[in-house]
Amino acid sequence: MRRDHRPYFVKKLWFRFLKLYIDHFLRPQFDGLGKNPYIVKPWYIEVFGSPVTIGDNITLLASPDKRTRLTVWSDKKDILGIRIGDHVLISPGVRISAAQEITIGDNCMIASSAYITDSDWHGIYDRSLPPDTAYPVKLKNNVWIGDSAIICKGVTIGENSIIGAGAVVSNDIPPNSIAVGNPARVVKQLDPNRKITTRKDRFGDIDLINMNLDLQEKELLKGNTLTGWLRSIIIPMNGD
């Protein structure tokens, strides 16, 4: 389909259904899920173990071919698990696997198919069991992780830094840096005198954003009818 043929009221009903699904089925799986979550295809979000906590205004995306997985796997008590801050974007296919602690700061962006882990999950010599020790991973505020990048155990990525697509990060990355490659190396420093516009800066006023989006939806879907929508599903035509 090139365009959305749904009438406005149908789309509003759909969003209400999504909210009910999230609140009834997905929210209880978290130890904390903040206000105003924007979650696309929530039935393809998989949460295993605990604790997993997420802050306010999360954008959490998944798709049938790229399920998003947040996993805490440990037999130890009182671990910190996965902690995700406010205004974070997590794209389809992201996997975050914690044996002890993975902390993701505010305004971070994680592109499709990235993998973040704080453990090797098997010992070098005893490969029958997980290793005794995990090494915390920390993404500071405003970090941007590129498509299919891998963030390994014990890594801290400094504030505002960018990790290139496909990079394998096995050592700390300082703030305000761009790192690429396998193993990832810093190739550029960001200009400290230039202001970085964060997701909070852009999307902080949720009420205003929702109002503007609603007005745009009304205009975009104006003229759509229930019969026209059903026709586009049953008998699609050129231009649909």
Active site positions, annotated: 122
Q: Is 93 exposed, middle or buried (0-12, 13-18, 19+ CB in 10 A)?
A: buried
How many helices (H) and strands (E) the chain has is answered by 4, 20
- Among 84, 64, 61, 60, smallest CA distance to 72 is for 84
Tokens coding 27 = 């929210």
Cα(214)–Cα(230) distance, integer angstroms: 23
Cα(156)–Cα(172) distance, integer angstroms: 5
